[in-house]
Amino acid sequence: MAAIIELQKLCKTFGSGENQVNALQDVSISIEKGDIFGIIGLSGAGKSTLVRCINLLERPDSGSVLFHGQNLMELKDKQLRQQRRKISMIFQSFNLLEQRTSLGNICFPMELSGVPQKIARQRALELLETVGLPDKAEAYPVQLSGGQKQRIAIARALASDPEVLLCDEATSALDPKTTGQILSLLQKINRERGITVIIITHQMSVIEQICNRVAILDSGKVAEIGAVEQVFSNPQSQAGRRLVSPAVAEPAANWNIPIARIAFNGGASEAPVFAQLIKQTGVEPSIMGAATRNVDGKAFGTMLITLPEDEAKKQEILSFLNGCQGVSAEEVRENV
């Protein structure tokens, strides 16, 4: 399938001299139509700059932003504004017009593009239905909860009939339950309207819940990119490991015992790996740290367990673990 958005070698620097910050360094990402693409990174990784470069709210210093193969950087102001209508955006702080009702907010982008008022109103009412707030047409933002505000913002973003929806930390200000609801709504929009969704977040759970592809951003560079399952189960980069299993990525330096790192790469969640390990090898390992998740019945994550000093026993344990489906294990030496 053809890429709907292709970012090529984006570079962006803020400030100069000692205060210079390289927000983006040679970032290349290709996003296909219909993707729910996650971009994750710790704060300061350059995520927000990156998403703002997609609709050129922020202009990269170099590189190109292709939308349907057309380089947005080369467009004149007016043409760019035309294209922006096809790339909607929602924000962490919702950014609703506070002096307008929900209906007025949803009508706003249609007003900008000159849709007749009556048609705009009709469409806005339909969109309120879509986001599940048909009774809030006349409510002002101050009367809405955070989740409701984001729903209105989503309806507003859909009003221009976009092909792409950019979500800049759209759920970061919401509680977990509301986050779940908003993510389901985004998923529904992606499925039913075929809108490509690009999600910027620092929350692993957001990526896990709805994204199919993910890029990990670290200090302005793409550390890792690929299918969510693959990246999360077996992160290749340091940044990836830090994100996926922050608790166990690094054993503490003062553990003067052999440690094994076990990675669960999507084997059956209910497989009794440890029970069998103990039965078969007779060891009694202690769990030093664990961060595992169950995604669609598959186990993902990492675990640190103690190993016996005996070299032969060690090898027996490691080879048993490596023999289990979807599990890999290695002795961690670097910090011990």
Partner 1 sequence: MFDLFSDAAKVAAQMEILSSEYGFALWETLYSLALEVLFAYVIGLPLGVLLVTGERDGIRPLPRWLMAVLNGIINLLRSVPFLILMIIALPLSKIIVGTKVGTAATIPPMVIAAFPLVARMVESSLREVDQGVVEAAQSMGAGAFQIVSKVLLPEALPSLISGGTITVATILGYGAMAGIIGGGGLGKMAINYGYYNFKFIVMWAAVIGLIVLVQVFQSLGTRLANKCDKRLSKKN
Q: Which residues bind partner 1 (CB under 8 A)?
A: 55, 57, 77-78, 81-85, 87-89, 91, 93, 95-101, 108-109, 111-113, 139-143, 160, 166
Q: Choose between 162 and 235: whose C-beta lies nearer to partner 1.
A: 162
CB 323, min distance to partner 1, A:
52
Least distance (Å) from partner 1 to the CB of residue 32?
22
Name the minimum Å distance from CB 17 to partner 1. Answer: 18
Separation between Cα atoms, residue 333 and residue 336, nearest integer Å? 5
Q: Which is nearer to partner 1, 108 or 274 (CB)?
A: 108
Closest separation in Å from C-beta 98 to partner 1? 5
Q: How far is the CB of 89 from partner 1 (least distance, A)?
A: 4
Determine whether 267 is exposed, middle or buried from the number of CB atoms within 10 Å of its CB (0-12, 13-18, 19+).
Answer: middle
Q: Which residue's CB is nearer to partner 1, number 9 or number 81?
A: 81
In the numeric block, the tokens 């299993």 are attached to: 245
Nearer to partner 1, 159 or 327 (CB): 159
Q: Most distant CA pair in the chain: distance in Å?
A: 79
In angstroms, the CA 34 to CA 37 distance is 9
Q: Which is nearer to partner 1, 153 or 317 (CB)?
A: 153
- Paired strand residues for 289: 304
**DSSP assignment of 26-91:** EEEEEEETT-EEEEE--TTSSHHHHHHHHTTSS--SEEEEEETTEEGGGS-HHHHHHHHTTEEEEE
Nearer to partner 1, 4 or 110 (CB): 110
Q: How far is CA 112 from CA 80, 107, 118, 127, 243, in A?
A: 14, 9, 14, 17, 40
Contact 148, 178 (CB under 8 A): no
Query: Given the complex with partner 1, which of 160 and 234 has the nearer CB atom?
Result: 160
What are the structure tokens assigned to 212, written together?
A: 């199919």
- Residue number with CB closer to partner 1 (97 or 119): 97
Across-strand partners of 31? Answer: 5
Q: CB 247 → partner 1: shortest distance, Å?
A: 34
Residues 6 or more apart whose Cβ sits within 8 Å of residue 168: 48, 51, 52, 89, 90, 91, 92, 200
* Distance of closest approach, residue 139 Cβ to partner 1, in angstroms: 6
Shortest CB 159 distance to partner 1, Å: 9
In the chain, DSSP assigns E strands to: 3-14, 21-32, 36-40, 62-67, 70-71, 87-91, 164-168, 196-201, 213-218, 221-227, 259-268, 287-295, 298-306, 327-332
Closest CA to 215 of 5, 1, 36, 37: 37
